[in-house]
Amino acid sequence: MSGKPNLLVRYSQLATLMVCLLPLSVSAQSNRFDASRLDRIDEVLQGYVDRGEIAGAVALVQQNGRTVYEHAVGWADKEAGREMSTSSMFRIASQTKALTSVLILQLMEEGKLNVSDPVSRYIPAFASTTVAVREGDEVTIVPAQRQITLQDLLTHSAGISYGTQPHIADLYRAQGLGPAAGNGWYTADKDEPVCTTMERLATLPFISQPGEAWVYGYNTDVLGCVAERVSGMPLDELIRTRITEPLGMVDTHFFVPEDKRNRVVTVYSSDADGKAVRAPEGAIGQGSYIDGPRRNFAGGAGLISTARDYARFLEMIRQGGEAFGEKILSPRAVELMTTNQIGDLRGGIGRGFGLGFETTERYGANGMDAVGSFGWGGAYGSIYRIDPTANISILLMVNQLPLSNDIRIKYPTMVYQALE
């Protein structure tokens, strides 16, 4: 008996020595920021404003749920002299997709659907979809080889585009979609429920057979309709009661409340010289998010939010589905969403797609993102990333369509260069 304590002591000493000899892990090396290097971001962002390339932006970085960098630069409305602030509200377009995808995974966890289910179980119009096959100048409409599933929609492998390709654009335009909806994704001006729009979409040809290609388009808008059909509730109420209210996202809405309209950022566009100019009214400009019909809740592109609000959503995902005392998803569901589910469908670019998020599969494929990082962005210029190796989330909010400069590339680089 007397020899056992000595053996335990020696084992402990050996284990301590082995730990000391091991190289630092990525997370250990990346556990803090150099404040002086973070300060560089201010100058870089201000440069875009000073050169007239953007009107303004809000940037935010969190690590382990703590804000380590937050900065508003430029103008929320340059012509009106309204400065950008950290509480400014942005059209986040495709950043909406992540919330709708979480909603679908919630319904899966409640046993109300399976991601392998055919879409037609919830939207019968999708039982017999078609594909427009182009060979030279000839276009042939053929039946889909199989039904589209919810997983196809979550991974953008259903073959559904935004209907702007030349060989199908006229067909989509005739149904109020594709070119008739701005750049395809815009439906805020439609005085009809989203399911009515998606049923009309089902009658149009798609551009690839289900499962054969990664095609970005109306997929998540279809999922929004599925969520409504499964729950019997409108999408805005679903997202509010299941995600935004529990997480304390007080400024995230499909349509802006009247008392918040003066916080909404003006949309700008890039002219031929790359300068920011005020965008027009309408689908490719300011949109109908304040004074529109308020009936069509686009699960793929419809939300308005702030950087601080969206950071709360990202923190929930980063922590495996639970944050601020609220459990939104299980850790396994989050892992499913943030793991590449499409193999090499994107053609060897080193980036995959999970059930709602783009994934980084190779270091260097997405700037300095570590392998295992994930995120996406929005058509108005915003981007976000979560890097689990450094426990950070990165956000840049801009409202400029199109955005023709490199701020979306440079900003994440400036964040990563400040990591120790």
One-character DSSP codes across 351-380: EEE-SSSEEE-STTTTTTPPTT-EEEE-TT
Tell whether 167 and 47 lie within a shared domain.
no
Residue where a domain stops, chosen among 182, 200, 235: 235
Tell whether 231 and 246 lie within a shared domain.
no
Residue numbers of the domain that contains 257: 31-95+237-416
Q: pLDDT 10s digit of each residue in the chain, 420 long?
A: 444 444 434 434 444 444 333 333 333 344 699 999 999 999 999 999 999 999 999 999 999 999 999 999 999 999 999 999 999 999 999 999 999 999 999 999 999 999 999 999 999 999 999 999 999 889 999 999 999 999 999 999 999 999 999 999 999 999 999 999 998 999 999 999 999 999 999 999 999 999 999 999 999 999 999 999 999 999 999 999 999 999 999 999 999 999 999 999 999 999 999 999 999 999 989 999 998 899 999 999 999 999 999 999 999 999 999 999 999 999 999 999 999 999 999 999 999 999 999 999 999 999 999 999 999 999 999 999 999 999 999 999 999 999 999 999 999 999 999 999
282 falls within a domain: yes
207, 210, 184, 208: which is closest to 197 by C-alpha? 184
- Please state, in angstroms and rounded to a whole number, the distance separating the CA atoms of residues 159 and 395: 29
pLDDT score for 3: 45
Tell whether 340 and 255 lie within a shared domain.
yes
296 falls within a domain: yes
Following CA atoms 349, 302, 193, 202 in sequence, which dihedral angle do they give, to the nearest 10 degrees?
A: -10
Cβ pair 380, 181 in contact under 8 A: no
User: In residues, how long is the chain?
Assistant: 420
334 falls within a domain: yes
pTM of the shown model:
0.92
Residue where a domain stops, chosen among 191, 214, 235: 235
Residue where a domain stops, chosen among 185, 215, 235: 235
Strand ranges for 25-83 from DSSP E? 56-63, 66-77, 82-83
23 falls within a domain: no
Distance linking the first and last C-alpha atoms of the chain: 48
DSSP structure string for 256-277: --GGGGGGBPPPEEE-TTS-EE
Q: How many Å is the Cα radius of gyration of the chain?
A: 23
- Please state, in angstroms and rounded to a whole number, the distance separating the CA atoms of residues 149 and 157: 10
Tell whether 66 and 110 lie within a shared domain.
no
Tell whether 124 and 227 lie within a shared domain.
yes
336 falls within a domain: yes
Tell whether 192 and 57 lie within a shared domain.
no
262 falls within a domain: yes
pLDDT score for 20: 39
pLDDT score for 137: 87
Burial string for 80-108 (b: 16+ CB within 10 Å, else e) reads eebebeeebbbbbbbbbbbbbbbbbbbbb
Tell whether 137 and 245 lie within a shared domain.
no
| Residue 250 φ then ψ, to 5° | -80, -15
pLDDT score for 25: 35
1 falls within a domain: no
Kindly report the CATH number assigned to the domain that includes residue 372. Answer: 3.40.710.10
3 falls within a domain: no
Tell whether 399 and 250 lie within a shared domain.
yes
Tell whether 290 and 367 lie within a shared domain.
yes
Tell whether 282 and 393 lie within a shared domain.
yes
For 363: left if phi > 0, alpha if psi spans -120 to 50, otherwise beta; the answer is: beta
pLDDT score for 31: 61
377, 220, 355: which is closest to 298 by C-alpha? 220
DSSP structure string for 132-158: EEEETTEEEEEE-SS--BHHHHHTT-S
Q: How many structural domains comprise the chain?
A: 2
Tell whether 265 and 392 lie within a shared domain.
yes
Residue type, 367: G
Q: Which residues pair with 348 in a beta bridge?
A: none
Tell whether 256 and 352 lie within a shared domain.
yes
Which residues have a Cβ under 8 Å from the Cβ of 287 and sit 6 or more positions away? 91, 186, 188, 189, 267
Cβ pair 33, 62 in contact under 8 A: no
